[in-house]
C-alpha cells in the first residue's frame, strides 16, 4: 500500500484529485488502521494529513472553528471548547483512551460517520457547519446535511473536511453530553446524547431546545420532534415524558453485541431527563455566579 | 515498500515499510525492540503504547510511515538497563508488576502523564490509564506507584530560579 | 536481611519494567518459519472437502497439512477424545482444520485464506439443548474413548454426558415431602475468558528425533504430555522450555498451538512459530464454563433447613480437557459453609456441546457455585425474615465439621473468626445504617483449597555463594517463584534474596511439577524447595564444620556467612564453603519433592467423585457495597472488604497484589465479562472491544485483612493465596446488587440491562 505523508493542504487536495477512490485519507488512523487490520478496506494509497499544520488549529475569532485534524485531546483541553461547548469537550474526552484521543481527530470522527460517533451529537446540537475543500473548490454543509447514512457522508472522494464551525452560544444557554457504556471508559456508546437548552429571562420556560442522539439508528441525528415537545414548556414531567417518547419514536434501535434494543429504549428517556436537568442546572449556576 | 526515517529512542533509523505496516510490527520485527507488546491490535489494551513526540499512542494501530521524522520513544528508551526511572522503580518496589506483559504500556503512559502533570490525583491517573488494561494486578499497586512518584517529585524542594519562571 | 514475611521486590520486576523480559511470543529461532491455522468457521458440521492446492501454490509457502497427515493417536488431559486436526467433523468454531507454514506470517495467513473448505453445517448443540436429551450425540464414538489414566480410570459418562457425579444420601425426598416450605432458585452463568494479556504462542524445533518447544505455559509437563499424545511419541521425545508468561489464570495449563507447531517443525525440518490472534485466542481458550445451577432447600415449620437438593449442569465444550475432574467440585462447595439439619443431594453433569472446550480459570466453578449458594442463602434468610448476617453466623460450619465427601474440616472455626474480623473493620449495623439510596451490601464466605499435586525443586549452591533453584514450576506472574520460593530459600539459607535465582522451567532439566494452578506453587514448590534448602544447609554445615573446627550443630548462616552461634567472629563465607565442598563431598545441591498428604474421605459419598477432598483448606469472608445508577442500571463497587486466611504471608505486598487482582477478576465476572454463546453456538464476543475487561476506573481499592493460621505442612506455614479472592467476589457483589434492588439476581454477570429492567418493574409497581 502506498503512503503519502503530506505537509500542505494544496498537496493533499492535489493528491485526492489525482487518486480519487483509490485514496484513503489517514488522519489519526484510529479508524483506518483498525479497518485495514480487519481487511474491511483495501485502498491503494494512504494520504496522511496529520502533519498538515494549517488543519489542526482550534480558533475563536468571533466564533469557534476547529481544524479537521484537531485531536480529541486538544478539543477536550481547549478552554474555548470547555467554556461554551462542554458537551463537545466531554464527548472528545470519552473517545477511547488517552492513546486514542492523542491522535484521533474530529475530522476522522465525522468522516467515519459511525452510528456510534460520539462527537456527532454535540456537533448536531451546536449547528456545526463543515467546510469541505477539493482541488476544484470549497463548499460548506451543515453537519446534518453532511451525514447521509450509516458510515456514509456527502464528502466526495476528492474532498477533504478542512474545518468545523460552531454556532455561538447565547445567553441562558447550556449543553450536556451523556454517554452510556458498560464500563467507565473505553466504550463504544450504547447510547450517546447531547442536549442544548436555552431558557427565557425568567429562567423557567424553554425558548430553544436541541437534542441529538447517536447509537440509536444508522446514523446520529437531531430529534426535532422531541425538541418541539420541550420548547415553550417549563420542563415539567409531562413535557419530559413527551420529549422522551418522541425521542424514542425517532430512534431506530437494534440489538447488537453491546446492548439490546430494549435496553436502549429504556435508556433514551432517562438519559434525556438527566441531560436536561444538567443543562438547566448549569444555566442556573451560571446566572447565580453572575449575580 | 518505501523507506521511512524514524527517530527511535534518540537514534535515527531508516526502515523499509509498506504503507499499512503498523509501527508495532516495525518496532518488533524490523528494529528488534521487543519490549513493546502486542495484546489486541485494535487499540483496546494499551500494551503497545509508545510515545510519539511525547504523546502516548497505540503503536498497533499507528502506521509506521506516519511516524516518519518524529520522535518515537519505546519502553527501552526510558532508562538504561538497570538504571530505573522513578516510575519504573516505584513499580518494582510497590508490586506494580505481576506477569509484566502490560507493564511496558503502563510505564510509557504514566511517563507521559508525569511529564505533563508531575502531581496527578488518583482520578487523573485512573483517567490517564483508561486505555491500558492490566489483567493481573487489579490496578491498585500501579496507581500507588504513580502517586508515590508524584509525592516524591512534589516534596523535592524547587530549585532556586525555577520559581521565577 | 530479607526474610519470610518481608515485602521484597520480585526478582523479575527489573526486566519487566524495562521491556527486557522475553515472553513466549517474543521467542525466535534462526531460520524460523511461521504457521497459521485454518480454523472451523462453524460450530458443527461435516467436512465435505478441503482443497489446499491454492495455498500450496503460493510463493513462500513451505507446508500445508491437515487431518490426512496426522498420526493415528488420540489425546486428552483426562479423556483421550482429541486429535491434532478436525477429522471428518468439526465440533466447535475455532477447531483447527489445517495448517499453513510459510516464510512469514503474512504469507501463512494468505495461505489460510486461499484454502477452499466446504463444510456441511449441522445445527450446533448448546448446553440447554444438550440437557434436553433430545440432542444429537456430538461424539458418536464416545464409548471407544479411553481415559488418560487407562481403562481402569474410567468414570461415569454416556453420550453427551462427558462426566457425571452423583451424591444421593438417603432421606432427601422424604424431607422435601414433609417440608413446610421449599425455597427454590435457578441460576445461570456465562463463560469467562481468562484474557491474559499475552495471546498464546509457541516456537517448535525438531532434531535428532526430538521436539523442543519454547512457550509460555503454566504447566510444561502437561503440555509435554499432550504433545507426545497427539504426535504419538513418548513424553521424553518432547522438551518444553518455559518463557516468561504473560498471564495465564488457568488458560495456559493445557497445550494449544504447541502440538501443531511441533508437528510442522518435523515436517518442514525448520523451526516453526505459531501465535494466536486475539480473536483466535478467544475462540479457542478453555474459558470458565457456563452452567445452570438449580438449588432447592426444604424448610420445616420452624424454618429449619431439613434438606437440600442441587443440580449443576456444566458445559464441557466439544472436547474434555480438565473438566471431568471439576465436575466433582459442587460436592465440596455445597457442603462447605453452612450446616443443614438434614441431607444434601448433589448431582452434577458435564455436557459435551458444540462450543470451545472449557477449562480452569482461577477459582474454577467455585465462582458461580458460591454465587448460587450465597444468593440462595440470602433468599432463605429474607424469606424467614432473619438478618442475613445473623442467619449465616447461626449456621456456619465449625472445627470438625465434615464436608459432603466426608472430609473433616478440623479448622473450619476460622470462618467464624473471619466474621469477627469483618465485624471489626465493617460493623454490620453501621454498614447497613450508612447505606445511601440505591446502595446495597452483600456478604459471601466459605472455604477454598490449595491444589495438592506434586512438585520438585533442586537447590544448588554456586561457587560464588549464590543459589539456584531449579524447578519445573512456572512463574505465571503471581510471584510464587520470584517472591515466594525465592524468599523461602533465601530465608532458610541465610542469604540475600537477590542472590537466589529460580530458573525457567525446562522439562529436560527441571524436575516434575504439576503447574501453576490451584494456588499451589508457593505451598507445594515452596515446601519442596524448603526441604531441599534444609538439606543444602546440612551439607554446608558439614563442610564448614571442618573448616571452622566446630560442631555442625553449633553453626548458623547469617548474611551469607556460616558462623558459630555465640561467636560470630568465627565465620566463613558460604562461597568458600561451597568451593571447599567441590574438592571433598562434591558440589552442594539437593533435590526434594512434595505433595500434600492424602485426606481421608467417605468413599461411599457418591459416584463419579474424581476429586475427593479439599487439600489445605483456607477460609474467607467478603463484603461488597454497591451503588446502582438509576439512570443506566450500571453498578459501581463502593466498598470491598476481604478477610482471608493465608497461613502465612510470605510477602505481604505480593499477597495484596493477588487479592486485589483476584477481586478485580471477580468484579469482571459479576458485572462486565461474559463470552456469550449465540444461537449458532458461536461466541458473540470476539475481541477485546466486545469482551469488556475492567479498567482502573472501574475498580475500588480492596480493603484486606489477613488471618494467619500457619499450616503445619506449608513452608513457614504458607497456604494457597492466589485464587480464593476471585471465588467469593461474584457472590458478594450479586448479593449486594440483590439487596439494593430488593430482588433476586439469578444470572452472572448481572448486566445494566437486567438491573434497569428491574428498576422499571419497581417503578411500575410504585
Ligand atoms: C480503541 C478505540 C476506541 C474508540 N472509541 C471511540 C469512542 O468512544 N467514540 C467514538 O466516537 N469513536 C471511537 N473510536 C473511533 C475513532 O477513534 C474516532 O472515530 C476518531 O475520531 C477517528 O479519527 P482519526 O483521526 O483517527 O480518523 P482516521 O482513522 O484517520 O480516519 C477515519 C475516517 O475518516 C476519513 N477522514 C479522516 N480525516 C478526514 C478529513 N479531514 N476529511 C475527509 N475524510 C477524513 C478517513 O479516510 C477514514 O475514512 C475508537 C477507536 C479506537 C481504536
Ligand atoms: S496491542 Fe495495541 S492496544 Fe492492544
Ligand atoms: S501485570 Fe499481567 S497484565 Fe498487568
Is A35 an 8 Å CB contact of chain B? no
* Domain edge (last residue) among C77, C94, C124: C124
A244 Cα: distance to centroid of ligand 1 (angstroms): 30
Give the C-alpha separation, B151 to B145, whole Å: 10
Residue B40 CB–ligand 2 contact under 6 Å = yes
Distance CA C264, CA C280 (A): 19
Atom of ligand 3 nearest to the CA of B98: 1
Q: Measured between alpha carbons, how far is C105 from C111 in angstroms, rounded to an integer?
A: 10
Q: Is C661 in the pocket of ligand 3 (CB under 6 A)?
A: no
Contact criterion met (CB < 8 Å) for A185 and C697: yes
Q: Is C603 contained in some domain?
A: no
User: pLDDT tens digit string along C254-312?
Assistant: 999 999 999 999 999 999 999 999 999 999 999 999 999 999 999 999 999 999 999 99
Identify the sign of the CA torsion C106, C110, C113, C116.
Answer: negative
Last residue of a domain, one of C124, C142, C159: C124
Cell numbers given for A263: 435496553
Q: Is B60 touching ligand 2 by the criterion CB < 6 Å? A: yes
Percentage of the residues of chain B whose pLDDT score is greater than 90: 88
In chain B, which residues have their Cβ closer than 8 Å to the Cβ of A185?
127, 130
Which candidate from A258, A266, A273 shows the least CB-CB separation from C760?
A266
Percentage of chain B modeled with pLDDT above 70:
94
The span from the CA of C272 to the CA of C487, in Å, is 38
> Testing the interface with B: which of A98, A105, A186, A187 to mutate, by most B Cβ within 10 A?
A98
- State whether residue C247 is helix, strand or coil: coil
State the ligand closest to the CA atom of B47: 2
Longest dimension (CA), chain A: 61
Clarify whether residues C344 and C428 are in a common domain: yes
- Put simply, the answer to whether A100 touches B20 (Cβ < 8 Å) is no
B79 CB under 6 A from ligand 2? no
- Cα separation of B120 and B150, whole Å? 7
Segment 3-22 of chain B within 8 Å of chain C by CB: none
Angle at which helices C724-741 and C752-765 cross, to 10°:
20
Residue B152 vs residue C437, higher pLDDT: C437
Residues C341, C441, single domain; the answer is yes
pLDDT band at B165 (very low <50, low <70, confident <90, very high): very low
* Domain shared by C334 and C464, yes or no: no
Whether B41 lines ligand 2, by a CB cut-off of 6 Å, is: yes
At A291, the pLDDT band (50, 70, 90 cuts) reads low
**How many C-beta atoms lie closer than 10 Å to residue C740's C-beta?**
23
Contact pairs from chain B to chain C, CB under 8 Å: 168
- Partners of A267 on chain C (C-beta within 8 Å) are 631-632, 756
Residue C599 forms part of a structural domain: no
Q: C65 by DSSP, 3-state: which?
A: strand
Among A91, A86, A74, CA closest to A189: A91
Residues of A in contact with C760 (CB under 8 A): 266
- Phi, psi of C485, rounded to the nearest 5 degrees: -65, -40
CA-CA distance, C760 to C378, in Å (whole number)? 23
A285 touches chain B (CB under 8 A): no
Residue C198 near chain B (CB below 8 Å): yes
Residues C643, C727 within the same domain: yes
- pLDDT value of position A51: 95
List CB contacts (< 8 A) between B61 and chain A.
Answer: 29-30, 33-34, 37
Superfamily designation of domain B2-77 = Beta-grasp domain (3.10.20.30)
CB atoms within 10 A of CB B155: 8
> Do C459 and C442 have their domain in common?
no
From atom 46 of ligand 1, which residue's Cα is the shortest distance away? A25
Same-domain pairing of C431 and C512: no
pLDDT in tens, C658-713: 999 999 999 999 999 999 999 999 999 999 999 999 999 999 999 999 999 999 99
Q: Which domains does chain A have, with CATH numbers?
A: 1-111+127-164 (3.30.465.10), 171-285 (3.30.390.50)
Give me the long-range contacts of A192-195 (CB less than 8 A, separation at least 24): A192/A91, A192/A116, A192/A118, A192/A121, A192/A220, A193/A121, A193/A268, A193/A271, A193/A272, A193/A275, A194/A87, A194/A91, A194/A121, A194/A122, A194/A124, A194/A125, A194/A275, A195/A87, A195/A125, A195/A272, A195/A275, A195/A276, A195/A278, A195/A279
pLDDT at C762 over 90: yes
Burial C263-291 (b: 16+ CB within 10 A, else e): bbbbbbebbbbbbbbbbbbbbbbbbbbbb
- Counting one residue from chain A and one from chain B, the pairs whose CB atoms sit within 8 A come to 87
* Closest chain B CA to residue A43: B20
pLDDT score of B156: 61
Claim to verify: residue C438 and residue C482 sit in the same structural domain: no
Q: Which atom of ligand 1 is nearest to the CA of B42?
A: 53
Q: What is the pLDDT of residues C448-464, one digit of tens each?
A: 999 999 999 999 999 99
Segment B22-74, tens digit of pLDDT: 999 999 999 999 999 999 999 999 999 999 999 999 999 999 999 999 999 99
Residue C525's CATH number: 3.30.365.10
Determine whether the interchain pair B62/A102 forms a contact, defined as Cβ–Cβ distance below 8 Å: no
CB of C469 within 8 A of CB of C503?
yes
On whether residue C665 sits in a domain, the answer given is yes
Question: Which residues of chain C have a CB within 8 Å of the CB of B44?
Answer: 687-689
Contact yes or no for B132 and A184 at CB 8 A: no
* Chain C residues with beta carbon closer than 8 angstroms to that of A260: 753
- Contact in structure between C528 and C486 (CB atoms under 8 Å): no
In a shared domain, residues C388 and C295 = yes
Q: Is the pLDDT of residue B99 over 60?
A: yes
Which residue among C565, C594, C623 closes a domain?
A: C594
Q: Report the residue of chain C nearest A192, measured CA to CA.
A: C632
CA of A31: which chain B residue's CA is closest?
B61
Res B154: pLDDT:
80
Question: Looking at beta carbons, which residues of chain A come within 8 Å of C698?
Answer: 183-184
Complex ipTM, two decimals?
0.97
Angstroms from C29 CA to nearest CA on chain B: 13
The per-residue pLDDT of chain A, averaged, comes to 97
Spatial contact of C303 and C361, defined as CB atoms under 8 Å apart: no
The domain segmentation of chain B, as residue ranges, is 2-77, 86-154
> Does residue C112 form part of some domain?
yes
- Ligand 1 atom nearest to CA at A160: 42
Percent of chain A with pLDDT over 70: 100
Q: Tell me what pLDDT residue B162 has.
A: 39
Higher pLDDT among residues C133 and C409, named by residue: C409
Segment C516-537 mean pLDDT = 97
Residue A85 CA: distances (Å) to CA of A62, A82, A90, A209, C240: 14, 6, 9, 15, 59
Q: What's the confidence (pLDDT) of residue C335?
A: 81
For the record, the C-alpha cell of A122 comes out as: 454535540
pLDDT score at B161? 39
Q: Using N-to-C axis directions, what is the helix angle for C724-741 and C366-383, rounded to 10°?
A: 30
pLDDT digits (tens, 9 = 90+) for C612-667: 999 999 999 999 999 999 999 999 999 999 999 999 999 999 999 999 999 999 99
* Separation of CA A212 and ligand 1 centre (Å): 20
Contact C697 A258 (CB under 8 A): no
pLDDT tens, C536-570?
999 999 999 999 999 999 999 999 999 999 998 99
Q: How many domains does chain C have?
A: 3
| pLDDT at position C582 | 96
Q: Which helix (H) or strand (E) holds C574?
A: helix C574-582
* CATH code: domain of residue C84: 3.90.1170.50
Domain that holds residue C55: 31-124
Q: Residues of C with CB below 8 A from B84's CB? A: 14, 17-18
Chain segment B101-152, per-residue pLDDT in tens: 999 999 999 999 999 999 999 999 999 999 999 999 999 999 999 999 998 8
C246 to chain B, any CB pair closer than 8 A? The answer is yes
Q: Nearest chain C residue to A271 by CA: give it.
A: C631
Classify residue C212: in a domain, yes or no.
no
Cβ burial A3-18 (10 Å sphere, 16+ → b, else e): bbbbeebeebbebbee
Provide the pLDDT for residue B164. Answer: 34
Judgement on whether residues C621 and C568 belong to the same structural domain of the protein = no
Q: Which tens digits make up the pLDDT trace of C716-734?
A: 999 999 999 999 999 999 9
Whether residue A186 lies within 8 A of chain B, CB to CB, comes out as yes
Nearest to C606 by CA among C415, C423, C334, C369: C334
State yes or no: cis peptide before C749, omega within 30 of 0: yes
C partners (3+ CB pairs within 8 A) are A, B
Q: Cβ C688–B133 below 8 Å, yes or no?
A: yes
Which of B130, B85, B62, B76 shows the shortest CA–CA distance to B104? Answer: B76
Distance from CA of B34 to the nearest CA of C (A): 7
The per-residue pLDDT for range C339-380, each reduced to its tens digit, is: 999 999 999 999 999 999 999 999 999 999 999 999 999 999
Query: Do residues C733 and C714 both lie within one domain?
Result: yes
Q: Quick check: C748 pLDDT over 70? A: yes
Distance between CA atoms of residues A75 and A94, nearest Å: 11
Whole-number Å distance between alpha carbons of B100 and C695: 17
Taking only the tens place, the pLDDT of each residue in A195-253 is 999 999 999 999 999 999 999 999 999 999 999 999 999 999 999 999 999 999 999 99
Q: Is the dihedral of CA C412, C417, C421, C423 positive or negative?
A: positive
Do residue A186 and residue B131 have CB atoms under 8 angstroms apart?
Answer: yes
Please tell me the pTM assigned to this model.
0.97
Protein residues with CB under 6 Å of any ligand 1 atom: A 24-32, 34, 68, 94-96, 100, 103-105, 107-109, 111-112, 117-118, 155, 160-161, 188; B 43-44, 61
Considering the domain architecture, whether residues C445 and C504 belong to the same structural domain is answered as no
Q: Which residues of B touch A36 (CB under 8 A)?
A: 20
pLDDT at C2 over 80: no
SS3 A216: coil
| Assigned domain for C630 exists | yes
pLDDT band at B160 (very low <50, low <70, confident <90, very high): very low
Q: Which residues pair with A228 in a beta bridge?
A: none
Which residue's alpha carbon is nearest to atom 2 within ligand 3?
B99
Ligand nearest to the CA of A189: 1
Q: What angle do CA C697, C698, C702 make, to 5 degrees?
A: 105
pLDDT of residue C336: 80
The Cα B38–Cα C198 span in angstroms is 7
Could you tell me if residue C57 is inside a domain? yes
CATH superfamily of the B86-154 domain? [2Fe-2S]-binding domain (1.10.150.120)
Same fold, B2-77 and B86-154: no
User: In whole numbers, what is the pLDDT of chain B averaged over residues?
Assistant: 93
C326/C353 same-domain check: yes
CB-CB under 8 Å, A184 with C692: no
Rounded average pLDDT over B153-165: 52
Amino acid at each position: 500500500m502506498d503512503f503519502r505523508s503530506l505537509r500542505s493542504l494544496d498537496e493533499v487536495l492535489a493528491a485526492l484529485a489525482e487518486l480519487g477512490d483509490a485514496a484513503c485519507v489517514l488522519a489519526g488512523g484510529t479508524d483506518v488502521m483498525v479497518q485495514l487490520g480487519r481487511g474491511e478496506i483495501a485502498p491503494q494509497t494512504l494520504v496522511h494529513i496529520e502533519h498538515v499544520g494549517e488543519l489542526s488549529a482550534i480558533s475563536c475569532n468571533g466564533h469557534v472553528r476547529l481544524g479537521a485534524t484537531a485531536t480529541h485531546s486538544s478539543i477536550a483541553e481547549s478552554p474555548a471548547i470547555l467554556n461554551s461547548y462542554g458537551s463537545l469537550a466531554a464527548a472528545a474526552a470519552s473517545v477511547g483512551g488517552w492513546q486514542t484521543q492523542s491522535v484521533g481527530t474530529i475530522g476522522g470522527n465525522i468522516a467515519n460517520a459511525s452510528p456510534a460517533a460520539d462527537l456527532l451529537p454535540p456537533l448536531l446540537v451546536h449547528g456545526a457547519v463543515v467546510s469541505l475543500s477539493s482541488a476544484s473548490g470549497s463548499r460548506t454543509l451543515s453537519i446534518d446535511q453532511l451525514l447521509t447514512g450509516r458510515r456514509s457522508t456527502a464528502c466526495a472522494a476528492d474532498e477533504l473536511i478542512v474545518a468545523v464551525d460552531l454556532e455561538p452560544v447565547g445567553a441562558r444557554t447550556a449543553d450536556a453530553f451523556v454517554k452510556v457504556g458498560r464500563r467507565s471508559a473505553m466504550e463504544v456508546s450504547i447510547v450517546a446524547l447531547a442536549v442544548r437548552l436555552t431558557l427565557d429571562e425568567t429562567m423557567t420556560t424553554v425558548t430553544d431546545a436541541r437534542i441529538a442522539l447517536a447509537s440509536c439508528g444508522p446514523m446520529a441525528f437531531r430529534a426535532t420532534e422531541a425538541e418541539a415537545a420541550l420548547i415553550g414548556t417549563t420542563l415539567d414531567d409531562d413535557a419530559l415524558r413527551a420529549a422522551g417518547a418522541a425521542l424514542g419514536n425517532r430512534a431506530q434501535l437494534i440489538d447488537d453485541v453491546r446492548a439490546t434494543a430494549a435496553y436502549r429504549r429504556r435508556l433514551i428517556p432517562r438519559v434525556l431527563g438527566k441531560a436536561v436537568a444538567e443543562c438547566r442546572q448549569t444555566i442556573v449556576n451560571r446566572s447565580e455566579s453572575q449575580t | 515498500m518505501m523507506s521511512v526515517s524514524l527517530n527511535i529512542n534518540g537514534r535515527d533509523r531508516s526502515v523499509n515499510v509498506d504503507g499499512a505496516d503498523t509501527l508495532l510490527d516495525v518496532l518488533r520485527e524490523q528494529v528488534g525492540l521487543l519490549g513493546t507488546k502486542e495484546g489486541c491490535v485494535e487499540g483496546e489494551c494499551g500494551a503497545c503504547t509508545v510515545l510519539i513526540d511525547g504523546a502516548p499512542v497505540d503503536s498497533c494501530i499507528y502506521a509506521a510511515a506516519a511516524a516518519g521524522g518524529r520522535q518515537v520513544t519505546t519502553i527501552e528508551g526510558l532508562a538504561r538497563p538497570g538504571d530505573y526511572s522513578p516510575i519504573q522503580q516505584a513499580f518494582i518496589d510497590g508490586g506494580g508488576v505481576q506477569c509484566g506483559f502490560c507493564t511496558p504500556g503502563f510505564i510509557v503512559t504514566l511517563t507521559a502523564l508525569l511529564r505533563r502533570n508531575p502531581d496527578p490525583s488518583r482520578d487523573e491517573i485512573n483517567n490517564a490509564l483508561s486505555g491500558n488494561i492490566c489483567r493481573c494486578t487489579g490496578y491498585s499497586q500501579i496507581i500507588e506507584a504513580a502517586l508515590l512518584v508524584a509525592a516524591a517529585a512534589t516534596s523535592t524542594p524547587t530549585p532556586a530560579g525555577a520559581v521565577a519562571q | 536481611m530479607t526474610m519470610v514475611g518481608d515485602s521484597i521486590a520480585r526478582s523479575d520486576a527489573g526486566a519487566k519494567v524495562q521491556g527486557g523480559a522475553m515472553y513466549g511470543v517474543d521467542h525466535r529461532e534462526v531460520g524460523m518459519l511461521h504457521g497459521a491455522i485454518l480454523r472451523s468457521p462453524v460450530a458443527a458440521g461435516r467436512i465435505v472437502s478441503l482443497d489446499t492446492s491454492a495455498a500450496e501454490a503460493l510463493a513462500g509457502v513451505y507446508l500445508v497439512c491437515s487431518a490426512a497427515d496426522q498420526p493415528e493417536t488420540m489425546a486428552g488431559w483426562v479423556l483421550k477424545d482429541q486429535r491434532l486436526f478436525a477429522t471428518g467433523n468439526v465440533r466447535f468454531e475455532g477447531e483447527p482444520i489445517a495448517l499453513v507454514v510459510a516464510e512469514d506470517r503474512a504469507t501463512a495467513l494468505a495461505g489460510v485464506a486461499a484454502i477452499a473448505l466446504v463444510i456441511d453445517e449441522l445445527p450446533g448443540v448448546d448446553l440447554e439443548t444438550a440437557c434436553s436429551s433430545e440432542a444429537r450425540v456430538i461424539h458418536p464414538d464416545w464409548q471407544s474413548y479411553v481415559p488418560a489414566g487407562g481403562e481402569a480410570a474410567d468414570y461415569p459418562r454416556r453420550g453427551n454426558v462427558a462426566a457425571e457425579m452423583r451424591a444421593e444420601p438417603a432421606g432427601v425426598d422424604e424431607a422435601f415431602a414433609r417440608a413446610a416450605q421449599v425455597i427454590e432458585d435457578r441460576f445461570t452463568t456465562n463463560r469467562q475468558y481468562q484474557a491474559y494479556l499475552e495471546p498464546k504462542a509457541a516456537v517448535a524445533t525438531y532434531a535428532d528425533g526430538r521436539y523442543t518447544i519454547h512457550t509460555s505455559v503454566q504447566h510444561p509437563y502437561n503440555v509435554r504430555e499432550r504433545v507426545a499424545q497427539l504426535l504419538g511419541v513418548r513424553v521424553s521425545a518432547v522438551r518444553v522450555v518455559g518463557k516468561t508468561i504473560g498471564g495465564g489464570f488457568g488458560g495456559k495449563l493445557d497445550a494449544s498451538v504447541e502440538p501443531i507447531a511441533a508437528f510442522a517443525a518435523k515436517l518442514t525440518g525448520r523451526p516453526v512459530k505459531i501465535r494466536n490472534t486475539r480473536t483466535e485466542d478467544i475462540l479457542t481458550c478453555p474459558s470458565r464454563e457456563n452452567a445452570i445451577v438449580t438449588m432447592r432447600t426444604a424448610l420445616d415449620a420452624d424454618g429449619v433447613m431439613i434438606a437440600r437438593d442441587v443440580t449443576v449442569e456444566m458445559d464441557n465444550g466439544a472436547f474434555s480437557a480438565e473438566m471431568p475432574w471439576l465436575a466433582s467440585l459442587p460436592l465440596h462447595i455445597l457442603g462447605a459453609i453452612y450446616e443443614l439439619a438434614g441431607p444434601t443431594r448433589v448431582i452434577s453433569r458435564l455436557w459435551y456441546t458444540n462450543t470451545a472446550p472449557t477449562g480452569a480459570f482461577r477459582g474454577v466453578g467455585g465462582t458461580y457455585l458460591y454465587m448460587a449458594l450465597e444468593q440462595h442463602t440470602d433468599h432463605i434468610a429474607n424469606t424467614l425474615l432473619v438478618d442475613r448476617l445473623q442467619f449465616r453466623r447461626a449456621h456456619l460450619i465449625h472445627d470438625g465439621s465434615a464436608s459432603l465427601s466426608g472430609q473433616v474440616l478440623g479448622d473450619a472455626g476460622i470462618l467464624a473468626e473471619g466474621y469477627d474480623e469483618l465485624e471489626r473493620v465493617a460493623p454490620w449495623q453501621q454498614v447497613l445504617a450508612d447505606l445511601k439510596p440505591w446502595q446495597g451490601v452483600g456478604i459471601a464466605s466459605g472455604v477454598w483449597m490449595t491444589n495438592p499435586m506434586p512438585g520438585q525443586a533442586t537447590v544448588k549452591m554456586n561457587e560464588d555463594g549464590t543459589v539456584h533453584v531449579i524447578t519445573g514450576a512456572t512463574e505465571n506472574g503471581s510471584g510464587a517463584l520470584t517472591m515466594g520460593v525465592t524468599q523461602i530459600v533465601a530465608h532458610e539459607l541465610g542469604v540475600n534474596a537477590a542472590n537466589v535465582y529460580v530458573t525457567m522451567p525446562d522439562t529436560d532439566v527441571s524436575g516434575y511439577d504439576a503447574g501453576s494452578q490451584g494456588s499451589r506453587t508457593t505451598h507445594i514448590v515452596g515446601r519442596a524447595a524448603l526441604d531441599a534448602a534444609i538439606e543444602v544447609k546440612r551439607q554446608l554445615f558439614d563442610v564448614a564444620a571442618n573448616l571452622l573446627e566446630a560442631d555442625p550443630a553449633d553453626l548458623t548462616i547469617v548474611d551469607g556467612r556460616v558462623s558459630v552461634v555465640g561467636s560470630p567472629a568465627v565465620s566463613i563465607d558460604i562461597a568458600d564453603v561451597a568451593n571447599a565442598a567441590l574438592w571433598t563431598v562434591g558440589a552442594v545441591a539437593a533435590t526434594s519433592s512434595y505433595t500434600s498428604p492424602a485426606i481421608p474421605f467417605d468413599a461411599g459419598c457418591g459416584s463419579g467423585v474424581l476429586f475427593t477432598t479439599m487439600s489445605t483448606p483456607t477460609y474467607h469472608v467478603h463484603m461488597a457495597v454497591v451503588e446502582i445508577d438509576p439512570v443506566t442500571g450500571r453498578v459501581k463497587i463502593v466498598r470491598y472488604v476481604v478477610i482471608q486466611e493465608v497461613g502465612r504471608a510470605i510477602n505481604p505486598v505480593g499477597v495484596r497484589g493477588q487479592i486485589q487482582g483476584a477481586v478485580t477478576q471477580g468484579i469482571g465476572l459479576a458485572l462486565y465479562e461474559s463470552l456469550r454463546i449465540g444461537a449458532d453456538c458461536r461466541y458473540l464476543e470476539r475481541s477485546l472491544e466486545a469482551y469488556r475487561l475492567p479498567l482502573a476506573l472501574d475498580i475500588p481499592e480492596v480493603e484486606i485483612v489477613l488471618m494467619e493460621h500457619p499450616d503445619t505442612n506449608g513452608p513457614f506455614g504458607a497456604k494457597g493465596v492466589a485464587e480464593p479472592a476471585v471465588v467469593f467476589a461474584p457472590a458478594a457483589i450479586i448479593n449486594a446488587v440483590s439487596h439494593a434492588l430488593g430482588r433476586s439476581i439469578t444470572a452472572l454477570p448481572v448486566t445494566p440491562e437486567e438491573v434497569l429492567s428491574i428498576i422499571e418493574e419497581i417503578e411500575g409497581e410504585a
